[in-house]
A and B are shown apart, each in its own frame.
Chain A
Amino acid sequence: MNNSLKQPANIVVWVVLLTMPYWMGFVGGYTELATRILVMALGAMALNFLLGFTGVLSFGHAAFFGLGAYGAAMTIKYIAPSSMLALFIGVLVGAIAGALIGALIVKRRGVYFAMTTIAFGQVFYFIAFRWNTVTGGDDGLNGWHREPINLGFTQLDIYHNPMLFYYFVLVIFAVSVGIMALLLNSPFGRTLLAIRENERRARFLGIEIERHIWMSFMVSCVFMALAGGLYALLNNFTDPRALRFDLSGNFVIMAVMGGMRSFWGPLVGAAIFVALQDVVSSHTENWMSVIGVVFVLVVLFFPRGILGLTRKANNS
């Protein structure tokens, strides 16, 4: 049922991702850029689980990304030097926040849902910004770095070897994306599609809308927090910008630009967005305007995104 999961597309995607660090240099990139694309793509795909496949717009998802980042960073800095534990705690923090906030807002719809998520997103920004002693405030949290992973028989030095870290992230990305794909192709996933397509019909098929939106929100938050944790590990650093509303907007535009109705759309969108940001910000001070213009152009001329060939739902 999900035409975005066709075999040829899958093969292309995985071949590109598996080889990316090897050809990134030839197109003017570098390994960390490849890793950043992967991390942002995971975030955009997590957001799109909710946006594209449940039809619910969260414009405050950076909050969960940032919570994952801070959860991971603070674990290594204050608790134990373990990258895996850091990711686990990051996800846990994001999931708890998602569960609580989700429960408060699931009754809202459309613009009102979006608006409430925007406002809630800022709570954590201010906490991170103001709670200097713990979070490092505006300067961010540094003085720590990702730790090599001990597998018992061997040690993966993801700290000193960026290539190895890329493949570490790719494995996590693959597992996450695999779980999301599995969910989307299950009865649960179809229930979410039903809610996206027509909430009234879904309700009159006996589906408890709020409960399912909450669950979808949770799935989305978990993978968002995971992406955030990886982002902190990538940079060996995190600061309040990882939680701020503009990052939320960037994730949404990645999903829309790539095609929010297609499974791989957000990956494509993230790749373009991250590469563009990298290039533009190294050439001009006014990169914000360029990004702003991208937003406007995508909305006016490219609303279905690059991979989005499906037609618009008419049940709003």
Chain B
Amino acid sequence: MQLILFDVFNGLITGAFYALMALGLSLILNLSGVINFAHGGFLALGAYLSYTIMPYTGFFGALLVAPVLTAMFGLVIERFLIRPLYGRDPLYSLLLTFGLAYIFEDGSRYIWGAQSVPYQVPAYLSSPLSTEFFFLTGYRVFMVVLVALAVGALFYVLTYTRLGMRIRAGTRDLETVSTLGVNVRILRNLNFGLGIYMAGLAGALAAGLLGLQPTIGTSLLMPSFVAIIVGGLGSLPGTLLGGLLIGVASGLTTVILPSASEAIMYVMMGLVLLIRPRGLMGEEGRVH
């Protein structure tokens, strides 16, 4: 029983990462029509940056600063490389970010080495909270809480701030938003930064759990795509749900059939596409 709980909880944590990553991807996809293949690269960047600055800022300082630095880098990339591609076939932004993903992975290998680097989590966070539920280390609980806070904050921003409302309006009808005097280019830029911030945060958090090596982002990228498709294209709550669901599902599958723990999410995706093509919470008409 404990072991099953462990796997469910573990799956929830993995799912939280998928969700965090997928939410950022979704934001960018919905407003700008860009599939950001470099999202995993940004995640790795967030992780490595936080590793690099930790000696100066401490663990929590790094957790605060690294995602912001990553987001700023994202703003620059969007401004100079992706902006020229809006209005062209989405093929091109996909290819560009695909190339960036190569460069990011190779770049982190060049700078930080191919081997995984030690990422220190404060000792008081890594000890178990109870002897009975030994798997509940403080760090895991801390992570779940932090991801929940980040997701809550994101939905707050999208619902109640001017920027968030414009992003949501732009997702529905970019043309109308631009005729209302909103600068769409700035909106897309900030939205991209917001998405990359989520990736950076996910990276800084994941490094303490999964270990930090150059491929950390790539391994989380594919499940994030699946999370978006399962949850429903165009729906952020759907993306969140999708991420958590496939996380828990693969956590549970680890118990029953370990070798199928990755395959299960694709099975889920196939089923969703078969039974409910627009995804669990996808809106009608966004399928096309």
Contact = CB atoms under 8 A, between A and B. Distances in A.
A312 to B, nearest CB: 8
6 contacts: A109-B287, A130-B263, A249-B95, A288-B102, A288-B103, A289-B103
A23 B92 CA distance: 35
A105 B92 contact: no
Interface in A41-88: 51, 57, 59
Interface in B191-214: none
Nearest to B95: A299
B95 A300 contact: no
A288 B37 CA distance: 15
Closest 7 pairs (CB-CB, A-B): A295-B99, A292-B102, A292-B103, A288-B106, A123-B266, A289-B106, A292-B99
Interface of A: 51, 57, 59, 104-105, 107-112, 114-116, 118-120, 122-123, 126-127, 130-131, 245-246, 249, 252-253, 256, 286, 288-289, 291-296, 298-300, 303, 312, 316
B167 interface: no
A246 to B, nearest CB: 8
Interface stretch (B56-64, B133-141, B222-230): B222-230
For chain A, what secondary structure do more than half of its interface residues adopt (helix, strand, loop), or is it mixed?
helix
Contact of B85 (A108, A127, A289, A299): A299
Given A107-B288, A289-B102, A292-B103, A114 B35 contact: yes
Interface of B: 29, 33-35, 37, 81, 84-85, 88-96, 98-103, 105-107, 110, 222, 225-226, 228-229, 233, 259-260, 262-263, 266, 269-270, 273-274, 277, 286-288
A295 B96 contact: yes
B262 A126 contact: yes
Given A110-B33, A111-B35, A249-B98, 14 more contacts: A104-B273, A111-B33, A112-B287, A116-B273, A118-B225, A119-B226, A120-B269, A249-B95, A286-B106, A293-B99, A299-B95, A299-B99, A300-B96, A312-B88
A253 B269 CA distance: 27
A256 B95 contact: yes
